[in-house]
Amino acid sequence: MKRTNKLSRREFLAAAGAAATVPYFIPSDVLAKPNRPGANDRIVTAHIGVGGMGGGHLRDMKNRMNKGEVKIVAVCDADENRLAKAAMTAGPGVTPYRDYRYVLQRKDVDAVVIATPDHWHGVQMVHAAECGKHVYVEKPACCTIEEGKAMMAAAKKNKVSVQVGSQGRSQPEAYLAHRYLVNGNIGHINRVDCFHYPSPEDRNPVPDSDPPEELDWDLWLGPLRWRPYNKRYLHGVFRWLLESGGGQIRDRGAHVMSCAMWWMGADGTGPVTIEATGTSPKQGLWDSAVLMDVTYTFKNPDWVMTWRQMPNDKLPKAEERTGKEPGGKISRPGYGAIYRGSSGEFIHWGGDGGTWAEKKAREWKPGPGAKEVYKSPGHKEDWFKGIKTGAKTIMNIDAAVGVANLTILGNLSFILGRKIEWDQKKQEIVGDEQARRMMSRPQRHPYHL
């Protein structure tokens, strides 16, 4: 099943321009007709990137398709083996593509699920929005400050619903934690300490080689600079490269810090200074910080958030749970955050597919006059609501870019070895020309914003 189809930049832009006439939310060609469900009943989806997380999203959507909630019409991946497996999972009538731009040209597609490596998120989300598609895109939202700005602008201009895959906000115990904190149970919170175990080192480096036959290496690289193939770049392990991933701070930080910004009511705000230290790998291709300590200072209101990658024996001990609780045992005890208030502390573990709140938050019963917080119906359900009604999603693109910027700025401070000052209103680094130049990077033609 060789799919070598590619689209020129000019052809793609022409298609995007045509798609700009598509009405907000429900394209006319997928409205309900006799014997055919409309988009209000069944959302037509396509999947771009169908490996690890992408494969999970596809299986989830297939279950939803079996219930009549969605209709999957296309799958796309640069790896032929993954593409063939995805086509079998999706079932008859689903078209496989190697090049995502052909997917975006399809007028019958309402929404796309993007689960490609991090370096593709910004470009593909912007292109999808330009073609009038609603977007579920994996975290972290972007790899550079420039990409984040383009993503927010594209979503706003094209009036599409975007949900970013920091699903920790939608977990049942995330709601309980949020409600507990917002009601002042630990007093005024002035510090949030996020913790995680170290990023791995490439202890088994291998030489560059020809890419495997099933992989379109050019498409996998996409907007990145050209470089020879090396199997230590992919799959999955792209996370440990600053260029295509960014280490634990960008992988799990996009989950843990997402919860912090949500629960602190800090979406739309940003730090004034960022200062990072850490240790670099001693060998191999992977170059993200192994150990790391980042301090984010916020003003008006004043509070501090930290991100620490520390040895396993230094991590906070996880709460023991019998497994009989609704959330079950804590299966990811190696990361989370401690919230420090004027009259107590609160801790949670996880922050992505599992968010586990400390017992006192789970057992707290709100009394008369207690403040209520938004309870997500589920991360994809919340996205579907956004598509159908225009409601802002729980991890909308503006909020997600704000969290991604935290991870980007932390890595930039680590690379430069000095404190960075940030202007949230302008979305710019200030007073450091070298750091400012690192807010963006060249993107390879034709895979660019």
150-162 residue pLDDT tens:
999 999 999 999 9
> What gap in Å lies between CA 449 and CA 283, rounded to an integer?
33
Amino acid, res. 92: P
**What is the mean predicted confidence (pLDDT) over 215-229?**
97
Report the percentage of the chain scoring pLDDT > 90.
88
Closest of 327, 405, 428, 448 to residue 164, by C-alpha: 405
Query: Residue 23 above 90 pLDDT?
Result: no
- pLDDT tens readout for residues 161-198: 999 999 999 999 999 999 999 999 999 999 999 999 99
Compute the average pLDDT of residues 302-328: 92
| Mean pLDDT, residues 334-339 | 98
pLDDT of 13 > 70? The answer is: no
Least confident of 27-41, 126-140, 199-213, 365-379: 27-41
User: Under DSSP, is residue 113 helix (H, G, I), strand (E, B) or coil?
Assistant: strand
- 423: amino acid identity, one letter: D
CATH architecture of 169-382+395-437: 2-Layer Sandwich (3.30)
Calculate mean pLDDT across residues 31-47.
62
Q: CA-CA distance, 152 to 126, in Å (whole number)? A: 9
pLDDT band at 324 (very low <50, low <70, confident <90, very high): confident
pTM assigned to the model: 0.91
Where do the structural domains in the chain lie, given as residue ranges? 9-168, 169-382+395-437
27 pLDDT exceeds 80?
Answer: no
Query: What is the C-alpha separation between 339 and 194, in angstroms, rounded?
Result: 9
Residue 389 makes CB contacts below 8 A (sequence gap 6+) with none
Average pLDDT taken over every residue of the chain: 92
Which residue did the predictor score with more confidence, 157 or 38? 157
Would you call 179 helix, strand, or coil by DSSP? helix
pLDDT tens, 234-244? 999 999 999 99
Q: pLDDT tens digits, residue range 66-114?
A: 999 999 999 999 999 999 999 999 999 999 999 999 999 999 999 999 9
pLDDT score of 24 more than 60: no
Q: How sure is the predictor about 16, in pLDDT bands with cuts at 50, 70 and 90?
A: very low
288-310: b (≥16 Cβ within 10 Å) or e: bbbbbbbbbbbeeeebebbbbbe
Question: pLDDT confidence of 325, banded at 50, 70, 90?
Answer: confident
Give the pLDDT band of residue 327 (cuts 50, 70, 90).
confident
Residue 349 scores a pLDDT above 80: yes
Instruction: Among 3.40.50.10300, 1.20.1090.10, 3.30.1330.60, 3.40.50.720, name the CATH number for the domain at 9-168.
Output: 3.40.50.720
- How would residue 39 be classed by pLDDT, with cut points 50, 70 and 90? very low
pLDDT of 31 > 80? The answer is no
As a whole number, mean pLDDT of residues 401-413 equals: 98
Give me the pLDDT at residue 323, please: 75
| Amino acid letter, residue 85 | K
Cα gap 400→402, rounded to integer Å: 5
Q: What is the model's pLDDT at position 326?
A: 80
User: In Å, how far from its chain's centre is CA 388?
Assistant: 22
Q: Which residue stretches of 159-216 are H helix? A: 172-182
Residue 35 pLDDT greater than 50, yes or no: no
* Other CB atoms within 10 A of residue 83 CB: 22
| Averaged pLDDT, 114-133 | 98
Whether the pLDDT of residue 5 is over 60: the answer is no
pLDDT of residue 21: 34
Residue 270 has pLDDT above 90, yes or no: yes
Q: What percent of the chain has pLDDT over 70?
A: 91
